[in-house]
Amino acid sequence: MWGEFMRRVKIIIGITLILLCLFTQAVLAIDKPEFDLQTKSAILMDAKTGRILYEKNAHQKLPPASVTKIMTMLLAMEAVDEGRVKWDDKISTSELAAKMGGSQIWLEPGEEMTFEHLIKAVAVVSANDACVAIAEHLYGTEENFVKAMNDKAKELGLENTFFYNTNGLPPTDPDIQGNYTTAADVAKMSLELLKHPKILKFTSIWIDHIRDGESFLRNTNNLVRFFKGADGLKTGYTQEAGFCVSATAKKDGMRFIAVVMNAPNSKVRFNEARSLLNYAFSIHRSVDIVSKGEVVSKVKVFKGEIPEIDAVAKEDLKISVMKGEEKEAVKQTRLNKEVVAPVKVGDKVGEIVVLKGEEVLGRVDLVAKEEVAKANFFKIILQLFKKFISNIMNIFE
């Protein structure tokens, strides 16, 4: 009888050890994914947190070819936000812009095109001539624009990045240093570009036209057409750089960035970017935190006609968490200590932040649901008196 009992105990222990081994292997597989990539360099990033999910030679300096245009588009979008250019501004083509080789929309010297159509041409068909036209319009010369690109790289902490031109074409003189960067730096600049979501209006286009339908545009990024949720960002190819792409996709509120550099051919480039993105979506799940317009809390208003207002979420907030880590996400509601009238609808009065340890998984502003006018003199005096009494009482508690 004792022998039978011990036999069963050994069986149970054996099964437990096997299950623990399998579980440990599964965890390690999530923490350290294995990909048999032909690509020389690659990285996979969570676009909301910046967490690196996978990397291969991610800090190796390589020529980026037209992936360079991520920085070009970033400076262009910043110019829009700063009011230095409008979407319908007409931009004239210089002799320099017109003679750019490689991918282009065949701009003629003196031809005018709107800033919006030029950005579309850069984002969709990787037009080198459009890059130079934009650069000259915004900074006077391409050289000045390139200096701004390198200044921005330093600002973003891209220590292994250098730009020689706006479009990624290699220098004709072999003694001149051309553009170089790393997969890690491309991911960071891609993350920065995504802070300007309007760029996705252009990078997500599959087929379009400009010049009143005379010029046909077809996106160089096949993932936009053949991978669900893909909406950017930029491809690149030269003989020296090989086939490159910074790809991003969004599903169920989750967004990831996959950078592939120096793939041997276009098929491998897209297949490996697709594999990385599929992996990211497979190990994460989306969690709803708050909906746009949802009342989250009451906020006290000082010197107002009414004493408090509703704080509502400015936008929907969803976070992506690794499966099994959902309970580690902690939601914090942070309200402004003092909101002083007058208050307008939409004024920020706080925020919701979701944390996993010290890592920020997501955040959204809380805004005033209603307007509050400033109270008259006597109401303000009464409020000050009540506040004084309240402070005195707190001292003796």
If you write DSSP's letter for every residue of 264-313 in order, what string do you get? Answer: SSHHHHHHHHHHHHHHHHHTEEEEEEE-TT-EEEEEEEETBSSSEEEEEE
Residue 24 has pLDDT above 80, yes or no: no
Q: What is the pLDDT confidence band of residue 304, given thresholds at 50, 70 and 90?
A: confident
Confirm whether 26 is domain-assigned.
no
* pLDDT reported for residue 390: 64
**Residue 157 region, left (φ>0) first, then alpha (ψ -120 to 50), else beta?**
left
- For the chain, the average pLDDT equals 90
Structure confidence at residue 395 (pLDDT) = 63
Instruction: Give the residue-averaged pLDDT of 310-321.
Output: 94
**Any known ligand binding at 234?**
yes
pLDDT of residue 158: 98
Q: Round to whole Å and give the CA distance between 41 and 20.
A: 34
Q: Is residue 48 part of a domain?
A: yes
Q: Report yes or no: 120 and 105 within 8 Å, Cβ to Cβ.
A: no
Share of the chain above pLDDT 90, in %: 78
Q: Do 272 and 296 sit in the same domain of this protein? A: no
Which among 103, 126, 275, 320 is annotated as catalytic?
126
What mean pLDDT do residues 177-199 have?
98
Eight-class DSSP state of 250: E
CA 28 distance to own-chain centroid = 27
pTM of the complete model: 0.83
Q: Average pLDDT, stretch 320-347?
A: 92
Of 133-137, 264-268, 358-362, minimum mean pLDDT range: 358-362
Whether 386 is a known active-site residue: answer: no
227 falls within a domain: yes
Structure confidence at residue 303 as a pLDDT band (50, 70, 90): confident
Q: Assess if residue 349 is contained within a domain.
A: yes
Last residue in a domain, options 235, 260, 285: 285
pLDDT confidence bin for 26, thresholds 50/70/90:
very low
Residue 126 known to be catalytic: yes
66 is an active site residue: yes
Range of the domain at 279: 41-285
Q: Which two tokens stand for residue 149?
A: 């690109």
Point out the catalytic residue in the list 41, 48, 66, 246.
66
Residue partners of 34: CB distance under 8 A and separation at least 6? none
Does the structure show a pLDDT above 90 at 67? yes
Choose, from 69, 120, 152, 188, the residue flagged as catalytic. 69
- Nearest 10 degrees: Cα torsion 284, 285, 291, 292: 40
Q: How far apart are the C-alpha atoms of 35 and 263, rounded to whole Å?
A: 14
Both 85 and 194 in one domain: the answer is yes
Domain count, the chain: 2
CATH code of 364's domain: 2.60.410.10
- Asked whether the predicted pLDDT for residue 201 surpasses 80, the reply is yes
- Is the domain of 165 the same as that of 311? no
Whether 288 contacts 260, CB under 8 Å? no
- 């490159």: which residue's tokens? 244
Say yes or no: 272 and 306 in one domain: no
On the question of pLDDT at 22 being above 70, the answer is: no
Residue 25 has pLDDT above 60, yes or no: no
pLDDT, tens digit (0-9, with 9 covering 90-100), for 83-129: 999 999 999 999 999 999 899 999 999 999 999 999 999 999 999 99
The span from the CA of 197 to the CA of 193, in Å, is 8
pLDDT of residue 379: 66
Q: Which tens digits make up the pLDDT trace of 161-170?
A: 999 999 999 9
